[in-house]
Homo-oligomer: A and B are copies of this chain.
Amino acid sequence: MHTPPRVLTVAGSDSGGGAGIQADLKTMLALGTHGMSVLTAVTAQNSLGVQGAWDLPAEAVRAQFRSVVDDIGVQAVKTGMLSSAELVETVAGLLAGLRVPVVVDPVGVSKHGDPLLAAGALDAVRTALLPTATVATPNLDEVAQLTGVRVEDEAGMRRAAAEILDFGPRWALIKGGHLPAGAADSAVDLLTDGTEEHWLRAPRHDNRHTHGTGCTLASALAAQLAKGDTVPQAAAAAKDYVTGAIAAGFRLGAGIGPVHHGWRLRDGH
């Protein structure tokens, strides 16, 4: 059997299975890659919010990373929840030595507004983590946290991208999904490297079950890059995958359900 492309997520665990490394690993399998993971934190989480969180020691993060990278090797990496400045700096240091595409999802708060990143870690994200990124994928809340820019329309997305690119990633993918209703009739994202500009549009689905959207998009992007796509190709494919997963998102628990990672799979049994 041919070895599938190898993709690594460096992120937190969501016990409910809809976000975090759970979303990443499911996405990677659904897109035909071999998913691996470096756990940075473990959360007790469900459709209603985050009930508890336990950080892994930096030493455990380093050991997991070395076990994967030195023996197995990776063709793309995605980072998600890195809750403390120490973990952000540890991961940035590990990534600086790699020569493969890195997708940085600068996770700040959960879908329910629970903080997933210590305030003191923001500066480490700006100065240490974002410079390692091939693509950074902030949503509008994360743009505001990182740059102070409050985006309210598509022109604002262009300004936000320029400010994010100033921190050093090769590409910025600004996710406009949180634009005020009326500001856009579709879910629009802007991908740019400061020269090229790609507007990614998809129908906005009337479905509240969107838990894990950000993790899923970033890990789909990493999976496509591992398969050899260019960044614009990977972003288009990832947007397509996540749009279908949102449309198929399902009820789970009393609150916000997850996107459906298996929406495009058929069991050939």
From B4, B46, B52, B255, A60 is in contact (CB under 8 Å) with: B52
A229-269 Cβ-contact flags toward B at 8 Å (1 or 0): 00000000000000000011111111101101110111111
What band does the interface of chain A fall in when counting residues whose beta carbon is under 8 Å from B?
35 or more
From B4, B35, B253, A250 is in contact (CB under 8 Å) with: B4
CB pair A66 B44 closer than 8 Å: yes
At the interface, yes or no: A119 with Cβ under 8 Å from chain B? Answer: no
User: How many Å lie between the Cα of A246 and that of B175 in the bound state?
Assistant: 40
At the interface, yes or no: A99 with Cβ under 8 Å from chain B? Answer: no
CB pair B44 A67 closer than 8 Å: yes
CB pair A72 B54 closer than 8 Å: no
At the interface, yes or no: A26 with Cβ under 8 Å from chain B? Answer: yes
Of the listed residues A17, A64, A254, the one surrounded by the most CB atoms of chain B closer than 10 A to its CB is A17
Of the listed residues A45, A47, A67, A250, the one surrounded by the most CB atoms of chain B closer than 10 A to its CB is A67
If the complex has contacts A252-B72, A265-B266, are A35 and B17 also in contact, measured as CB distance less than 8 A?
yes
CB pair B262 A29 closer than 8 Å: yes
CB pair B71 A47 closer than 8 Å: yes
